[in-house]
Structure 1
Amino acid sequence: MLTVNDIMTVNPYTLAPEMTLREIVRMMKEEGCRHLPVVDDGKLVGIVTDRDVRLVLNSPLVLHARWPDDDLLDEVAAEGIMTTDPVTVTPATPAAKAAEILSIYKFGALPVVANHKSGKQILVGIVTVTDFLNHFQEKRTEIVQ
């Protein structure tokens, strides 16, 4: 049985709760990430997506002159825009179940967590729609060859 562990991205890029919107945008651009888990002392506390960033920058509360967006980039932190308590999966979760969650809720990614000896759940990876597509493309290539 195919599990999340077989297709997930291990050690994904992460954010600290206090990171600014400017730092988040820079990381998304430089690393090509659209979903960034927010981690505090190893524990998953939320997730920020490119959609969250767009919603903040395109808010009707922001006048659309250049300077308000520029101010927001330095004043808004990850903890202010993240989704708290995101839906998660474990490495042992069947991949089909993770795909079902992604599809039903229209998510682009799911953080992957595991129990740590300290008792808290720690982030061990992320599984994205792209991870699924890459997996099936690899399998298709194997079949064709």
Structure 2
Amino acid sequence: MSNVAEIMQCEPVSFTGEETLEEAIRALRAADISCAPIVVDGRLTGMVSEVALLDVYFDPQLRTAPVSDVAAQECRVVEPMTPLGRAAHLFGLTGLDCLPVVVGDQFMGLLRRRDLLSYALQAPAERWEPLARLVGSDGPAA
């Protein structure tokens, strides 16, 4: 079965945690993404999402706060060798838009739900059938 390393983004938009909320929103919008990792010295330290930013952005006292203040510190993660079926299951369980890819505490990349859906649509049937069995589906619709 295919694994996360095959379709993850190796150099996604990321933050240091020092960016303002406005800078983070602008970066997410410019890249047309809904979440991004906070990476410090190669280590994943959190995730920031549009939902978290929207929740606090309209509070004038927080608008200039660093993005690290609203980032989720504890994140669901996957490893590069995680089977895509397991990643699909995590997306389904959590409702997340993206999963950081790590080895130990080192950030390696990002797997977005839309990357997995694009893969499912483009991959030959023999590649997504194991994924479909794992998540209880017949695969992508024609």
Q: Does 1:50 align with 2:34?
A: no
Which residue of 133, 140, 145 maps to 2:117? Answer: 133
TM value normalised by structure 2? 0.81
TM-superposed CA distance for 1:104, in Å, is 0.6
TM-superposed CA distance for 1:38, in Å, is 0.4
Superposed, 1:9-24 pairs within 5 Å as 9-24=9-24
Q: Deviations over 1:55-100 (max 9, x none)?
A: 1125xxx4xxxxx3xx643x22111000002111100011111111
Identity %, equivalent residues: 26
TM-superposed CA distance for 1:138, in Å, is 1.2
TM-superposed CA distance for 1:111, in Å, is 0.1
CA distance in 2, matches of 1:57, 1:14: 19
The answer on whether the counterparts of 2:44 and 2:106 sit within 8 Å (CA) in structure 1 is yes
Structure 1 gap segments, 5+ residues each: 63-67, 116-120
The answer on whether the counterparts of 2:21 and 2:57 sit within 8 Å (CA) in structure 1 is no
Cα RMSD, aligned residues only: 1.7
The answer on whether the counterparts of 2:15 and 2:37 sit within 8 Å (CA) in structure 1 is yes
Which residue of 95, 99, 122 maps to 1:110? Answer: 99
CA distance in 2, matches of 1:81, 1:87: 16
TM value normalised by structure 1? 0.80
Structure 2 gap segments, 5+ residues each: 126-142
SS in structure 2 of the partner of residue 137 of structure 1? helix
Q: Deviations over 1:93-120 (max 9, x none)?
A: 11111111111111111000124xxxxx
SS in structure 1 of the partner of residue 2 of structure 2? coil
- Greater gyration radius: 1
Provide the residue aligned with 1:4 in structure 2: 4
Higher relative contact order (CA 8 A, sep 6+): 1
